[in-house]
Amino acid sequence: MALVECIIDRMVSKASVPAAPVLRDLNAVLADIYVRHIALKKEDCYNYYEVFTNIFYRIHQAMKEVDTYYAKYSSEVKFAGSHYDRLRINKPDEYDMVIVVDVPFNSIQIEPKHPGYVQLRDGSHPGSPRPYAPNSVEAKAYKWLDSKNYILRSEYANWIRSVINRAINHISSPKTSHNTDMENTYSVRVTESGPAVTLIIENDRGFKLDVDLVLALRFSESRWPVEGYRSIPRGCAVGHWMVAPKPNRHGHDIHDENRSWRISLQEQERKLIYDSHNLRLTVKLLKKLRDSKNMSHLASYYIKTLFLWEVSENNNKDFWMRNDLATLFKYMLQKLHTALRAQRINYFWNSRYNLIGSLNSSIVESYANIVANLLHALNTSQAHVSAAKYLLTDAEFASYRRFF
């Protein structure tokens, strides 16, 4: 799926932002703030996407040129994160890319550990003869196994980092550079954080684009559910699910951290919230509130998870169509407040995992207070003004208040 298709949902033109909006009630304010401060702008989307395609796909091709294993076993590159879910707000300046790279093991055993994580084990007996010659392309994958045949996500992740760095050096060398205007204008550097390698693409005119690259292994849905997890909801099957090499910080020892893989069912989640009318707009409003009130520990996935639960339990997609945006905003704010007060947001696929369980309780309580104060303000005659105060930064509201 092209990224343009992923971000087209409710994308607006800068020229469509009204110069003098009529803000008589909460619905009008929410709609105007969405267009003015939340929705992606068409002009930005196409500009960032053009830069992305001109640079990323050259790097991806170079990755195949510098590494024979990657050339043979990389099977797919796909968009992920907020762009893929059509939940990105403000600016399209961050992309998430999942790179699926297969392994040549005949049988991989999937072993559940802490909820949300699995360990992967080559099914052959430890120490048994390898089916590939030592100098074969496939021999590289066997270096990722520990003494008990577990695939070490740490080794797998280190390898992809080296491939990316070699690819960037490859396209930057005089022998391979084509000296196009794009290359002369934009520079690329690499940072690393957790399981992701981030390409930072920028120029001297203030343009900056972050592209997070996350490696993944893919399994057939016939191997789901993993023990202790919910079944894939009806209508959400896509044929496969994935795991990414993310360390399990809840593990009991160094083996749990080095062997851990984070479960990902992003495609099933996308289908669950697909065609839910005002659901995505409501998610974006909560994300804007989070950003404006500096609730930085409240990850976008935590907010999205509240909606996954609501869609699953409500089981009525008309709910997101028959209710106006103000009603939905207050309804999901109450859901968020309840979760923060309880200091618990259950992982959708396995409710034993509390997504916010490791957050500082005083921080979570402060977030709950912010949401509680907003809910109270939304029940007054000045609800529309209060919504703007909470959804906008101080600087944004200082400019916005002229409309009231």
Per-residue model confidence (pLDDT) at position 282? 97
How far are the Cα atoms of 299, 334, 337, 340 from residue 345, in angstroms, in the given order?
A: 11, 13, 11, 8
Query: Helix, strand, or coil here: 165?
Result: helix
Domain of 193: which CATH number?
3.30.460.90
Phi, psi dihedral angles at 340 (to 5 degrees):
-70, -40
Tokens 């992809």, located at residue: 160
Q: Is the pLDDT of residue 55 over 50?
A: yes
Q: Average pLDDT for residues 329-354, to the nearest whole number?
A: 97
- Which residues have a Cβ under 8 Å from the Cβ of 376 and sit 6 or more positions away? none
Q: Which of 226, 244, 272 marks a domain boundary?
A: 272
Q: Is the pLDDT of residue 35 over 70?
A: yes
318 confidence band (pLDDT: 50, 70, 90)? confident
- Which residues have a Cβ under 8 Å from the Cβ of 270 and sit 6 or more positions away? 84, 85
Residues 8 and 54 in one domain: no
6 confidence band (pLDDT: 50, 70, 90)? very low
Residues 115 and 203 in one domain: yes
Positive or negative: CA dihedral 254, 255, 256, 257: positive
Per-residue model confidence (pLDDT) at position 315? 77
Asked if 216 and 98 count as a contact pair (C-beta separation under 8 A), the reply is: yes
Residues 49 and 1 in one domain: no
Residues 126 and 178 in one domain: yes
Q: Poorest-confidence range of 63-67, 173-177, 327-331, 361-365?
A: 173-177
| pLDDT tens by residue, 179-221 | 344 445 788 988 887 667 899 999 988 899 999 998 899 999 9
Give the helix/strand (H/E) hosting 343.
none
Domain extent for 372: 1-39+273-404
Q: How many CA atoms lie within 13 A of 382 on its CB side?
A: 9
Could you give the angle at which helices 300-314 and 325-342 cross, rounded to 10 degrees?
110
Q: What angle do CA 91, 97, 103 make, to 5 degrees?
A: 170
- Number of folded domains in the chain? 2
Q: Which of 224, 246, 272 marks a domain boundary?
A: 272
Residues 106 and 223 in one domain: yes
Residues 324 and 387 in one domain: yes
Residues 33 and 51 in one domain: no
By CB atoms closer than 10 A (0-12, 13-18, 19+), residue 396 is middle
83 confidence band (pLDDT: 50, 70, 90)? confident
Q: Is the pLDDT of residue 163 over 90?
A: yes
How far are the Cα atoms of 56, 117, 404 from residue 257, in angstroms, in the given order?
A: 30, 10, 53
Per-residue model confidence (pLDDT) at position 8? 46
| pLDDT tens by residue, 274-291 | 877 899 999 999 999 999
Residues 249 and 318 in one domain: no
Residues 278 and 250 in one domain: no
Longest dimension (CA), the chain: 76
Q: Is the pLDDT of residue 401 over 60?
A: yes
Domain of 297: which CATH number?
1.10.1410.40
CA distance 234 to 315: 11
Asked if 110 and 219 count as a contact pair (C-beta separation under 8 A), the reply is: yes
Residues 226 and 151 in one domain: yes
Per-residue model confidence (pLDDT) at position 253? 79
The whole-model pTM stands at: 0.91
Residues 131 and 154 in one domain: yes
CA distance 377 to 391: 13
177 confidence band (pLDDT: 50, 70, 90)? very low
Per-residue model confidence (pLDDT) at position 133? 78
Per-residue model confidence (pLDDT) at position 5? 44
Residues 268 and 165 in one domain: yes
Per-residue model confidence (pLDDT) at position 2? 45
Q: Which of 242, 272, 302 marks a domain boundary?
A: 272
